Every structure is written in structure tokens, then in C-alpha cells.
Amino acid sequence: MGASLALPWLEIMTPRARAAAKPPPRRFVTFFQPNGVYPKAWNVSGLGQDFSLSPILEPLAEFKKDLVVLSGIDSIGKGHVKLTGAFLTGTAIENGVNGVSVDQVIARQIGRGTRFASIELGTEPPRQGMAGDDPIALANTVSWSSPTQRISPEISPRAAFDRLFRDPSSPEAKRAAENRRSVVDLVLEDARRLQKAASGRDRQKIDEYLEGLRSVEQQIERTLNPPAPEWTPLKSPDLTRPPAGIPMGKDQHMKLMLDLLVLALQTDTTRVATFMSAHGFSRQNFTFLDGVKNDHHGMSHHKNQDALVLEYTTVSRWYAGQVRYLVEKMKAVDEGNGTLLDNSLVLYGSEMKDGNGHIKEDLPLVLLGGAQSRLRTGRHIAFAPGTPLADLHLTLARQFGLEMESFNETGRSTLNGLFA
């Protein structure tokens, strides 16, 4: 009869101890809200740690010690389309050409060991048409993998779940990935053939296009051959597949997508997530909120009429409440060495200040989380008026280990005082 020996129970055997042996990864999350805010309802009073949250930001009162309100930062461009495009790039779209967005820059740095370098989720279907000289479709997203390749957010909860959590070794998943690879191979072949005959600006456009396709190629390869997990959550989360279709209620739809976003971060399926809460030219209906009768874009052009200002502020507070829901979920995830929120950096804001005049100065921006104790939270920081938005992007990129001298040629200085 064989003999067996069992080790005594040791603290090091617990999930918490195993997690402590290897620190959790850092994550980057963006929550984009369209159409700006009413300035008087957004602007906080006081500076440094001696500040009071504004009416719009009151839903985040529980997390005042976990956030930093930023003011004095300006965007670039004019109108909803260009300003939406600039939110994560810091540069203005010209003839459909933008810059690479900061979420994608960070994803290339920290997302190489996960199934998805980044994920992009949302709630509003893409829109078409024109806004002046700009195609409205350019405001369907804030994520750009190259100056000419934008990444559309997934708005279906079930489609997002299947993509993120379906067994990559299943025949269905492998077949879908192989089909995508076949399409990409054909497009690559055509692009390279055109590249040989192109010159000047056309060659540059093709180079940028190929750069975006290479990202797709890499994602397909990770789907077919997933990398070994580098981080395991302390507790296996419930992975319940959502029902088919889009939820009728906006509140339910938003929370479902945010639940999936948190699950993707918690399971280390990705470390970079961008949430496009609505289209940058959104005309969504908010009549489910008390006293709101107009669509979001319509009320943003309030002309200082009290009734419209009240509606505009009510919707902005609702969005702040969705951010609260997100950070509540993140803070509830214990990772041994702090919470998911402690190990993340969340950027929340809008593409413009006051939608009434498409104001691009002094954007409404908040950073939340801990970035593993690097973000100096519980403060309001007023930067010098006119500080470029791309300076914030450059600062964030450097925090995630990127050695960059500038960001999309418009961000050339890092912002002092944000990080320890």
C-alpha cells in the first residue's frame, strides 16, 4: 500500500497569498459621455483637497477620495465630430485622418499578454449623415488604432459576452477567427499591391491602413492561440450569458455593458477598456428621467433657458451615476493587493464643455482609481488655462511605461501634480 504525505495548511496556499506573490496588472478605462455639460452645474468649488463636488458630480460623492477633478484643459477642433475624434487623440480630424488614440497606445504597451489588447463597448448604434463638412460616422467612436482606422464599439451584450468569454478552442470560435483571418489576408494582399504603385500621400494612407490591419491580425492570432494567463482573479466571477437582443431600457443596457467591462478586466481578458456611452452627436431620448422631454443633443443647445438647462443637468447627473456604478463594481473586486479600482486608472469626461456653443475650453474631465497608489486622489487640480488635452494623453501614456517625447505632435509636456 502506497504512503502519502500532505503538507500542513499554510497561509501561502490561500488565493490572497498567491495573488500577493504576483501583483495584479494595471488597467486603463475610459468612460466617454457626449454633448458636454452645463458649466455652472459641473464646475467644482475650491482647489486641492479643499474642494466641493458640483451638482453633476454629486453622485460620485462616495468616491471623492478616489478621484481627481481636472480643469483648464482644452481640446482641439470645432463641432461634435472633430471634438469627439480628439477626445483620446488630442488632434483634429482632417479629411477623415486622425491620430492614434491614447487607449490604443496604452493597449500596445500593457495588453500584449491578454486575449484582447483592448475592448470597446457602447450602447448607441452607429449613425450616418453629415454634420457640416464632417461625416457623422467619424463620431461613432473615440478609439483609433491608426490615423485612418477607427474601432467601432460593440453594443450588443450577448455579442460582447460571446466574443470576450466564449471558449477560444471551440469549433465555433476557431471557425469565426479563421473566417476573419481569410478576409484580412485578402485585404492585406490588395493593400500591398496598391502600395507598390502608390506615391506620396497615398502611400502614407496605405501605410496607416496596414498598421490598423496588423492590429486586427494580432487580435485574430490571440483568438486562435490565446496567451497563457498572467493573472488569475481571487474569486471566479459568474459568467452568465446575457439574453439576445438589445435591452429596451437605457439604464439596463448601460449597466449590462458595464458589467461585462468589469468582468473582462477582472478575468484579465483585457487590461484596456473604452466605454462609448453614446454617439458623439447623440440624440438619444431620456424621457425615462423625471422632467426630461428633449433629446440629449437638443437640450445641449439650451440657449440658457432654465427648463433646458435643468434637463441637460439631469442627464449629466445620470451619466455621473453610471460612472458611480462602474467604480462601485470595480471597487467590489478584491485582488488581494487592493481592489480592481485601486489597480486601475479611469478617465471620465466629455468631448466639449458646454454643448450650447460647442465650447472646447476647460473640458469636463475626472480621473478615478488608484493606478496602484500612483494617482494622487481626493483633489481638484486647476491647470493653466489653455493646457492641451494631448498633454494629458502624454502624461497617461508615460504612466503606463511608454517613453514618448510627444503625443500626436500636439502634446509635448507632462502634467505636474497628478501622480506620485
Domain contains 10: no
Domain contains 239: yes
pLDDT in tens, 162-179: 989 886 556 665 666 566
pLDDT in tens, 315-360: 999 999 999 999 999 999 999 989 999 999 999 999 999 999 999 9
51 or 207, higher pLDDT: 51
Say yes or no to pLDDT of 4 above 50. no
Continuous H helices in 65-200: 79-86, 102-110, 157-165, 171-197
Quick one: DSSP state of residue 344? E
> Is there a single domain that holds both residue 154 and residue 31?
yes
- Mean pLDDT to the nearest integer, 383-408: 97
- The owner of cell 482606422 is 149
Quick one: DSSP state of residue 94? B
Give Cα 415 distance to the centre of its chain: 20
Domain contains 275: yes
> Is there a single domain that holds both residue 253 and residue 274?
yes
Would you put residue 213 in left (φ > 0), alpha (ψ -120 to 50) or beta? alpha
> Is there a single domain that holds both residue 332 and residue 256?
yes
**Integer CA distances (angstroms), 97 to 34, 46, 49, 381, 386, in order:** 21, 39, 40, 32, 24
Do the beta carbons of residue 44 and residue 363 sit within 8 Å?
no
Confidence of residue 210 (pLDDT cuts 50, 70, 90): low
State the total domains in the chain: 2
Residue 86: burial class (beta carbons within 10 Å; 0-12, 13-18, 19+): buried
Give CA–CA dist 124/363, Å, rounded. Answer: 23
Quick one: DSSP state of residue 68? E
Minimal CA–CA distance to 115: which of 257, 224, 234? 224
Q: Quote the domain boundaries for residue 336.
A: 25-160+232-399
